[in-house]
Amino acid sequence: MRMTTRRLTELALLTAAALIIFVIELRMPDIAIPGVKLGLANIITVYAVFRYRPGETAMLVAARILLGALFSPNPSTLLYSASGAALCLVGMLTVRKAIPARYIWLCSMMGAILHNIGQMTAAVLLMRTTAVLSLLPVLLLSGCIAGLFTGLCAQMLVTRLYKKPPHDL
Amino acid sequence: MTKKDPSRAPLIAVAVFVIVAALGSVVWLLVGMLRGADARRVEVVQGGNVLYTYDLATASPQTVRIEAPDGGWNEFTIADGEIRMTAADCPDQTCVHMGPLRAENLPIVCLPHQLVIRFEDADT
Ligand SMILES: [Zn+2]
């Protein structure tokens, strides 16, 4: 399907919004555990999953991650975040049609868990040791909480921002 | 709105996945806390190689500097029966901010330098 200028502009705006959220979150104090963060920029990802086509959402997320790495103090974490985001996106795009709008938070929780599993897989492969695996339960639990929070935000956006039905998906 | 149809299966699958992950990690954490209470043996692992192992109960106070393959460095210190990352030149400094090693399920990790300090055999 052809992408109209309007849609391209919307996606560019969403990417910019996600990037701004990402940069603001970088400035917030750390929860000194590697891989643990709220991931507020994922509000935009979850929103896009339910409002745009899979290819458009994938483009948005890829642009956000690549541009985000430019602002990150630690660009070497790009591989971890990219692996996490890819797994998260594949999971959410697979089930999104079967998820009613009032269960978006659940889909987001699943996405966050998949994100952490993807990150951890990348860490095990890159560091060539399973020693980091002992961090997984902490990551999964924090993923559940973060995913619930960002999911509820995205759900509010999806259900309240537009009264008209979503774009043809 | 609530009528049953086959398309609910994925929703239920997602719910089960989330519940299993959440409960599983809680149980895993609790087990780790119970077992980690008397764990004293720690190991320092870099990129798949165990560089050092210590018994925190008997190890003499010391500071050790480790060079990372990419030219960076980390410095850990053993004192008062605790081990912690005291300095590093990694950009995020998360490993330093993590403080002393406390739990089996919370290893000190420096992602940029591929360094892990943890209690021994945490995953066996
Ligand atoms: Zn570090």
Where do the structural domains in chain A lie, given as residue ranges?
Answer: 5-161
B contacts of A106 (beta carbons < 8 Å): 11, 14-15, 18
A42-79 tens-digit pLDDT: 999 999 999 999 999 999 999 999 999 998 877 778 89
Alpha-helical segments (H) within A52-103: 54-71, 78-95
**CA–CA distance, A114 with B74 (Å, rounded to integer):** 30
How many beta carbons lie within 10 A of that of residue B2, not counting itself? 4
Q: Report the complex ipTM.
A: 0.86
A·B CB contacts under 8 A? 123
Q: What phi, psi does B69 have (nearest 5°)?
A: -60, -25
In this predicted structure, what is the pLDDT of residue A75? 75
What distance lies between CA B5 and its chain's CA centroid? 44
For the domain spanning A5-161, the CATH number is 1.10.1760.20
Q: Could B22 and A137 be called an inter-chain contact, meaning their C-beta atoms sit closer than 8 Å?
A: no
Name the one residue in this structure whose structure tokens are 């519940």.
B19
Q: Are B117 and B101 in contact (CB under 8 A)?
A: yes
User: What one-letter code names the amino acid at B76?
Assistant: F
In this predicted structure, what is the pLDDT of residue A9? 94
Q: Are A105 and A153 in contact (CB under 8 A)?
A: no
Q: Which residues of chain B have pLDDT under 50?
A: 1, 122-124
Residues A79-106: what's their mean pLDDT? 94
Q: How far is A3 from chain B (nearest CA, A)?
A: 29
A contacts of B11 (beta carbons < 8 Å): 95, 98-100, 103, 106
Burial class (CB in 10 A: 0-12, 13-18, 19+), A30: middle
A26-50 tens-digit pLDDT: 888 777 888 888 999 999 999 999 9
In this predicted structure, what is the pLDDT of residue B124? 46
In this predicted structure, what is the pLDDT of residue A164? 58
Global confidence as pTM: 0.88
**CA–CA distance, A104 with A155 (Å, rounded to integer):** 6
Q: How confident is the model at residue A127 (pLDDT cuts 50, 70, 90)?
A: confident
**CA–CA distance, B97 with B76 (Å, rounded to integer):** 12
Largest CA distance in chain B: 68
A contacts of B98 (beta carbons < 8 Å): 32-33
Q: What phi, psi does A22 have (nearest 5°)?
A: -60, -45
Residue of A19, A22, A42, A64 lying closest to A111 (CA atoms): A42
In this predicted structure, what is the pLDDT of residue B37? 57
Strand partners, B85: B76
The alpha carbon of B93 and the centre of ligand 1 are apart by a number of angstroms equal to 5
Burial profile B82-112: b = 16 or more Cβ within 10 angstroms, e = fewer: ebbbbebebebbbbbebebbebbbbbbbbbb
**CA–CA distance, B82 with A117 (Å, rounded to integer):** 30
Q: In chain B, what are the domain boundaries?
A: 1-124
Name which of B15, B94, B112 is nearest A30 (Cβ-Cβ).
B94
Fold classified for B1-124: mini-chromosome maintenance (MCM) complex, domain 2 (2.60.320)
Q: Are B101 and B42 in contact (CB under 8 A)?
A: yes
Residue of A71, A76, A81, A63 lying closest to A15 (CA atoms): A63
Q: Are B95 and B45 in contact (CB under 8 A)?
A: no
Average pLDDT over chain A, rounded to whole? 90
User: What one-letter code names the amino acid at B86?
Assistant: T
Which SS3 state, helix, strand or coil, does residue B52 take? Answer: strand
In this predicted structure, what is the pLDDT of residue A32? 80
A8-19 tens-digit pLDDT: 999 999 999 999
| Angle, alpha carbons B5-B11-B15 (nearest 5°) | 140
Q: What phi, psi does A111 have (nearest 5°)?
A: -60, -40
**CA–CA distance, B102 with A92 (Å, rounded to integer):** 35
